[in-house]
Structure 1
Amino acid sequence: MPLSPELAALLASPAPAQLPLPPAAHPAPGARLLRGAVYAAPDGIRPLELDLWLPDEPHGPLPVIVYLHGGGWRTGTRTDMGPRFRPWHPSPFARLAQAGFAVASLDYRLTGEATHPAQLEDVTAALAWLHARAGELGLDIGRVVTWGESAGAHLAALLALTTPVLGCVAWYGPTDLTTLPAQSRPGTYDATSPTTREALLIGAPLATAPDRARAASPVSHVTADAPPFLILHGTEDALIPLAQSEQLAAALRQAGADVDFRPVPGADHAWAGLSDADVERCFTTSLDFARALTAQPPTRV
């Protein structure tokens, strides 16, 4: 029996951009946190949320960092910048807010919920939510930098290459799923397996779905309009080969885009093998890159 128009309207979910914002918490000096703002509500799964970190005393509209967590697209949480940062107090997100940024750290659908391009659709929807609420939140949506680690770096790169943003920070992310098996250490990658992280992302083994693998690869979306990239990747990464970041850097250079590619000597995946000082240096280098890109006057109130 069809619903009456009145009942259908009553039961319809409100648009996320119209929902009340969460109350602010103050987890660190100089930073406030709006935890768990719903930015999208895909049918059939959980609402997708973001945490928005803000400086306590903003000076004009804020530049924005859109942060995307790692976890092989199948695990991970928006509260986590990776295992080496879990002991940090204040957290890396609080430090970015203290440095004058708004930081939107996002959920996105995991591969147990949906396959590519759902994840890119989600993070694009989050950017649209930030646009819609920029005025009430005091954001300068013309000054956005994407930042991600591992699988999140893959999504940060895709978002930066498919939407207008100022730049991208990519830490040890996969960039070309078609070449990843051959670049991996001998005997460690089975391109015919349906259970690899990448196969679960595209919904098929890489060897049997090259077109899907190519469409999900950041290198396939590089154009002359690409924004500046900072790419950091450990030279000893046993999970995502350094060659993946080399390949993205080469594609960006060939297109005429600005890219700062920095291999990190001795680092394994997730900055394993680095000293605390070197991990801090990776973070500071990335913050400095975002700060330099967003240093121009605000573009929108």
Structure 2
Amino acid sequence: MGKRRWIGLMAVSALIAGGVAPGNAREAMRDRLRERLAEREARPKAPGGETISYGSDALQTLDIWRAQNAKGPAPLIVFVHGGGWKRGSKDNASGSFKPRHYPAEGYAFASIDYRLVPGATVEQQAADVAAAVKALVDRASGLGIDRRRIVLMGHSAGAHLVALVGTDERYLRGAGLSFADIAGVIPIDGAAYDVPAQMKDGPAIMQATYAQAFGTDPVRQKALSPTLQAAAPNAPQFLLLHVQRPDGVRQAEALGKALQAAGAKAEIESFPGTGLQGHAEINRRLGDPAYAATATVDAWLKRVLG
């Protein structure tokens, strides 16, 4: 048995010995691994960022970096972090490359916090995404932003949230916006675009997280599923990125087909990487010029935003 696997089994055994049920022990171990990955990937905040509150809750804040050397209002990328809808933050789950790379490419870049489960619902989280965009739109002239060239980008649970906001217009309407205010959406390696399917076929280790986020009501689960909300209208363009996790591949392809059938332009791009490590790497390294997904996203942004 490999050393890494032996250590993992010993850790799970210790949790079980401490009175944690086997299934919960595996979930607790996975939570600890995620937290360690987040800590390892955390970097000092890129210089030049400004923090803005977009609501009264302490988590309703965002950081924004202005476009460098912009000649006139700049396009805006709004990033939504992952973390199973219950953890993560703009400070440790955005990766270190994005707030440097995108402003250097001529885009303003914002990374948002949002209220977390169980203190908030997934519906409130999607509303937070829309509210953060509205706060930036309202400050567009002062921040040098072109309010008509906005792209939503999110990783993991954040990929689900930006896809949901990009397919169910009620969240944008609740903030006084519409799909006309969103030029495109980039979900990164999400795996809950069809919630009922993921709760049926997804990894057993994630089922407690899904149940906490989406509950047991099939009607609510469907309403929170971008794939099942993808009938027109939608945001006009999508770029779906995934690594080689079977459920992530399956879910991205199904969402892409649903969007295309509804008349939205949806591209699907596949990259190397498996398991939690590949899932984390595509987020951590996006914006690194040496990482393949960076060039793919850069080319798409230039086509969509000009």
Q: Structure 1 CA distance, aligned partners of 2:185 and 2:114?
A: 18
Q: Structure 1 CA distance, aligned partners of 2:131 and 2:211?
A: 24
Unaligned 5+ residue runs, structure 2?
Answer: 1-44, 170-177
Alignment map for 1:206-245 (pairs within 5 Å): 208-226=216-234, 227-236=236-245, 240-245=247-252
Q: Structure 1 CA distance, aligned partners of 2:256 and 2:162?
A: 15
Match of 2:49 among 15, 25, 33: 33
Change (3 A) 1:289 1:129: same
Question: Shift in Å at residue 272 of structure 1?
Answer: 5.0
Q: Which has the higher helix share?
A: 2
TM-score computed with the length of structure 1 as normaliser? 0.74
Partner of 2:166: 160
Question: Shift in Å at residue 279 of structure 1?
Answer: 7.4
TM-score computed with the length of structure 2 as normaliser? 0.73
Partner of 1:268: 275
Unaligned 5+ residue runs, structure 1?
Answer: 1-25, 191-195, 296-301
Is residue 185 of structure 2 the alignment partner of residue 179 of structure 1? no
Deviations 1:146-193 (A, max 9, x none): 1011000011111222242111111111201110023325x5565xxx
Work out whether residues 227 and 255 of structure 2, in 8 Å CA contact, stay in contact via their aligned partners in 1.
yes
Kindly, what percent of the aligned residue pairs are identical?
A: 30
Q: Structure 2 CA distance, aligned partners of 1:229 and 1:104?
A: 19
Is residue 293 of structure 2 the alignment partner of residue 291 of structure 1? no
Alignment map for 1:74-93 (pairs within 5 Å): 74-81=86-93, 85-86=95-96, 91-93=97-99
Change (3 A) 1:39 1:104: same
Work out the number of aligned pairs and report it: 245
CA root-mean-square deviation: 2.5
Secondary structure of 1:129's match? helix
Q: Which has the higher strand share?
A: 1
Residue type at the aligned position of 2:112: L
Partner of 1:60: 72
Partner of 1:169: 186
Deviations 1:74-117 (A, max 9, x none): 111113455xx45xxxx321111111111111111100321121
Partner of 1:142: 148
Q: Structure 2 CA distance, aligned partners of 1:131 and 1:273?
A: 30
